[in-house]
Amino acid sequence: MASEEHFTIVDGHPSLYNADLAPLKPSARKWGAFEIFNVWSNDIQSLFGYTLAATLFVSSGLNGWWVFAGIILAGLIVMGLVNLTGKPSVKYGIPYPVMARAAMGIKGANFPALVRGIVAIFWYGVQTYFASTAVAMLLYAIFGGKDGGTFLGLTAMDWIAYIFVSAFQVALFLRGIDWITKFLNWAGPLVYLVMIALALYIWFMAGNALFTALGSIFSPADGESGGLTAFLGVVGTMIAYFAAVIINYGDFSRFVKTERAMKLGNLLGLPVSLAVFSFLAMWITAGTMAIFGETLTNPSDMVAKVDNVFLTLIAAATFFGATVGINLVANFIPPSYDLANLAPSKISARTGGFITAGIAFFIGALWLVLISKMGIAIFVDTLGAVLAPLYGILVADYYLVHKSRLNLQALFTTPPSGEYYYQNGWNKRAMIAFAIGAVFSVATVYVPFLHALSGFAWIFGALLGGAAHVYLMRDRMAAIAAEAPGPAE
């Protein structure tokens, strides 16, 4: 790791620099493998994450064990992807929107920052709604009111829960990253304890019928055969679920002390944690079929069926904690940085957070009556398809075009001779590469002729975007190779 002075920016331009975007010095980094593990654990354990996994088990047309294998394979792939995006931010201490300046230009980086910010705000609103269902579940158990009138599909109790969660998240964000980290560190392990307890309870209630359900509920429907396409579709959809975090993973890895700690946290938090959680989801979903005669893919619905106030209290607290934790880290902090990157002298991360919360409030309120009608898989694939080319471009630019070297000072200054100024601050070739990847990956989701590839939208978009960027930047690659610089400091 370079000296503290290496991370000090000299004459950072107000249009590019503020305290939130500045390189984080090694002495200010406090995260280790445990904190990274909990980032992923909370992401996986969120109510939306559970619902997605359970839905894949029920509706993919595959035997449950093949779905399980597909989810684990996706975890291994995501681990490799975030190791690539996390490394430069560990090395230089910079967040995603600053990292994007190297590939897109010091002004052009506003585009990927804005795209990622929009997606994150969208996710933030949706996850806020899912977290509120846990709180609403508890309110119903204590006060009733589930049969009352609705507005936008939500009862009065639903609205009370939704407003409470929205306010709680903003309050926690205002306490700072240290408080958010502490929140994650207790929420992640606690959710696993509750999930294991719920799985044992389901087993006790279902008895041997649970094993019968495991043997039948996850089998392909009559006349259907999922095959390789369905298996790869599960893998692709799970990768797309993590797409928003994959691209801006540097927003988190910049807090980690060493690259080794980051990689260990990714290993434990992705394939290992995902395997445990997916197995529990498979077990519990089968149990609901054996006990209630129907497959329940939302833990809130399961707990409501049990009708036990104490269990409801514990479940509500833990799933609320897990969903809120990852929502802050994955969907609140990133757009705060991204919005700050648009106008650093006017928008701080704190101001960006308020903007995020305000817009996301309306998005979450519309989830039930509008957004959810798209279907969870299509929703995830669409957002992933938009982000995918940006991932491919940023990774290809750092490792292949710029040979794993960045000029920190040039990322925060504006002279036309600057290394990342390109054409008036925009790298037009990177924008062309994005368009090539995005058009194809989004088309796989919506064009009937390409629909069979929809689960692979993220992968295709990333590969096309990265390959196009390398091809269009080949003259710059040749110039960098000719300079043959020494080892990076």
Partners of residue 38 on adjacent β-strands:
none
Partners of residue 31 on adjacent β-strands:
256
Task: Report if residue 305 sits inside a domain.
Answer: yes
**What is the DSSP secondary-structure string of 397-447?**
IIIIISTT---TGGGG---TTSTT-TBTTB-HHHHHHHHHHHHHHHHHHH-
User: What is the pLDDT averaged over residues 339-353?
Assistant: 85
CA distance 456 to 230: 11
pLDDT digits (tens, 9 = 90+) for 104-123: 999 999 988 888 888 788 88
The 3-state DSSP class for residue 151 equals strand
pLDDT at position 83 is 96
pLDDT score of 403 more than 50? yes
Percent with pLDDT over 90 in the chain: 28
**From 130-139, 246-255, 353-362, 393-402, the region with the lowest mean pLDDT:** 130-139
Helix (H) or strand (E) holding 39: helix 33-45
Helix (H) or strand (E) holding 148: none
Which has more pLDDT, 69 or 349?
Answer: 69
pLDDT at position 300 is 66
Residue 293, domain CATH: 1.10.4160.10
Q: At 426, phi and psi to the nearest 5? A: -120, 135
pLDDT score of 225 more than 60? no
Q: 124 CB contacts (<8 Å, ≥6 apart)? A: 327, 331, 332, 335, 356, 357, 360, 363, 364
Task: Report if residue 313 sits inside a domain.
Answer: yes
CA distance 112 to 89: 17
**From 263-267, 328-332, 338-342, 388-392, the region with the lowest mean pLDDT:** 328-332
Q: In the numeric block, which tokens belong to residue 72?
A: 């684990």
CA distance 107 to 86: 22
Total Cβ atoms within 10 A of residue 313: 15
User: What is the pLDDT averaged over residues 261-269?
Assistant: 95
CA distance 54 to 289: 12
**From 61-65, 156-160, 165-169, 460-464, the region with the lowest mean pLDDT:** 61-65
Contact in structure between 237 and 322 (CB atoms under 8 Å): no
CA distance 469 to 205: 56
Contact in structure between 277 and 53 (CB atoms under 8 Å): yes
**From 106-110, 148-152, 160-164, the region with the lowest mean pLDDT:** 148-152
Q: In the numeric block, which tokens belong to residue 398?
A: 């750092």
pLDDT score of 487 more than 50? no
Residue with tokens 């994650």: 184
CA distance 477 to 405: 12
Q: In the predicted model, what is the mean pLDDT of the chain?
A: 83
Contact in structure between 250 and 88 (CB atoms under 8 Å): yes
CA distance 265 to 77: 15
User: What is the pLDDT averaged over residues 299-322?
Assistant: 73
pLDDT score of 460 more than 60? yes
Q: Where are the beta strands (DSSP E) in 142-259?
A: none
pLDDT at position 474 is 92
User: What is the pLDDT averaged over residues 416-430?
Assistant: 91
pLDDT at position 478 is 87
pLDDT score of 472 more than 80? yes
pLDDT at position 374 is 63
The DSSP 8-state label assigned to residue 2 in this structure reads -
**What is the DSSP secondary-structure string of 239-282?**
HHHTHHHHHTTHHHHTTBS-HHHHHHHHHIIIIIHHHHHHHHHH
pTM: 0.83
pLDDT at position 8 is 80
Percent with pLDDT over 70 in the chain: 90
Task: Report if residue 489 sits inside a domain.
Answer: no
The confidence band for 65, taking pLDDT boundaries of 50, 70 and 90, is confident
pLDDT at position 104 is 95
Task: Report if residue 451 sits inside a domain.
Answer: no
Task: Report if residue 427 sits inside a domain.
Answer: no
Q: Which residues of 70-79 are buried (b: 16+ CB within 10 A; e: fewer)?
A: bbbbbbebbb
pLDDT score of 488 more than 50? no
**Number of domains the chain is built from:** 1
Task: Report if residue 423 sits inside a domain.
Answer: no
pLDDT at position 223 is 45
Task: Report if residue 304 sits inside a domain.
Answer: yes
pLDDT at position 2 is 63
Total Cβ atoms within 10 A of residue 95: 29
pLDDT at position 12 is 78
Domain range for 232 is 19-388
Task: Report if residue 8 sits inside a domain.
Answer: no
